[in-house]
Amino acid sequence: MPGVADRVVIVTGAGGGLGREYARLLASEGALVVVNDLGGARDGTGEGHNMADTVVAEIRAAGGTAVANYDSVATTEGAQSLVKTALDAFGAIHGVVNNAGILRDMSFPKMTPEAFEAVQRVHLFGAFNVTHAAWGHFREQGYGRVVMATSTSGLYGNFGQANYGAAKLGLVGLMNTLALEGRKYDIKVNSVAPMAATRMTADIAPAEMLEKLPPEQVAPVIGHLVSEECEDTGLILVVGGGSVQRVQLFAGKPVLFSQVPSIDEVRENWSRITDMSDAQPGVNPAG
């Protein structure tokens, strides 16, 4: 049974919360895990070895195999060094779970360019950096599994999270193209929007809701998506509290104009344009 046994998987931001659960489950299934974590606070400030080291110690105590890495995914050099950690320790890289994340919530009028950029750097550039550093190895061996951590804040919006939502839906855009480019090399790229009680959500969601969202409930879906058995690519799944739900973009029936319409003609057709009753899964007309 192939699963993830002997597969080398990097889990970014695996020093706590969801990443820790992903790393522990993968290791318990025989994966060789690189536990990456910068070890900072929720807003991305600070750093340290303790978080990643603790998870590696837990995995080893349970009989699994893991090494720690403390690089920031937010830089190209950090991501290259992270992939090198996998290659040096285990001689290969088969999977990347782009899980590392930070929060800098503020309402849009108060949002600073620094807060906007810092969040893109960790989530969007972080996933780009690590996946890009691993991609050549995936292509060469004709095998790779990538998971993006997206969010319902990106898929649907959430007050105070313009920076985070933009980064999280950016990851879906990145996935869409990588899913296409990876197809002929058996590289599968999927996205999971988790819902879990972690330090990230501790003061965001109500306590009674968080009680029903233990992070270990998300991990088995990640386990499937990084396994050899995963045949899908380009999926978005919302996962948490015992629920696994696929989300997809749908497109309404096109309204066709034989010549450039006037603004009034656009308005006259507005209810048809916005009608989704005959919607079908969206496809790229250029693809």
Under the rule (CB under 6 A), what is the footprint of ligand NAI? 12-13, 15-19, 36-40, 42, 44, 51, 72-74, 99-102, 122, 126, 149, 151, 193-196, 198-201
Tell me the residue number closest to ligand NAI, measured at CB.
17
The active-site residue out of 70, 143, 164, 185 is: 164
> What pairing do the DSSP bridges indicate for beta strands 250-251 and 280-281?
antiparallel
50 or 280, CB closer to ligand NAI?
50
120 or 269, CB closer to ligand NAI?
120
13 or 144, CB closer to ligand NAI?
13
Structural tokens at position 141: 């061996």
Q: Is 70 a catalytic residue?
A: no
CB of 89: closest distance to ligand NAI in angstroms?
17
For residue 248, is it left (φ>0), alpha (ψ between -120 and 50) or beta? beta
Residue (of 85, 92, 97, 108) closest to 26 by Cα position: 97
Class of residue 280 by CB neighbours under 10 A (exposed 0-12, middle 13-18, buried 19+)? exposed
CB of 103: closest distance to ligand NAI in angstroms?
7
Rg (CA), the chain: 20
Task: Confirm if 37 and 234 have CB atoms less than 8 A apart.
Answer: no
Residue (of 222, 212, 282) closest to 252 by Cα position: 282
CB of 106: closest distance to ligand NAI in angstroms?
16
17 or 64, CB closer to ligand NAI?
17
CB of 60: closest distance to ligand NAI in angstroms?
19
Task: Confirm if 190 and 175 have CB atoms less than 8 A apart.
Answer: yes
Residues classed as catalytic:
164
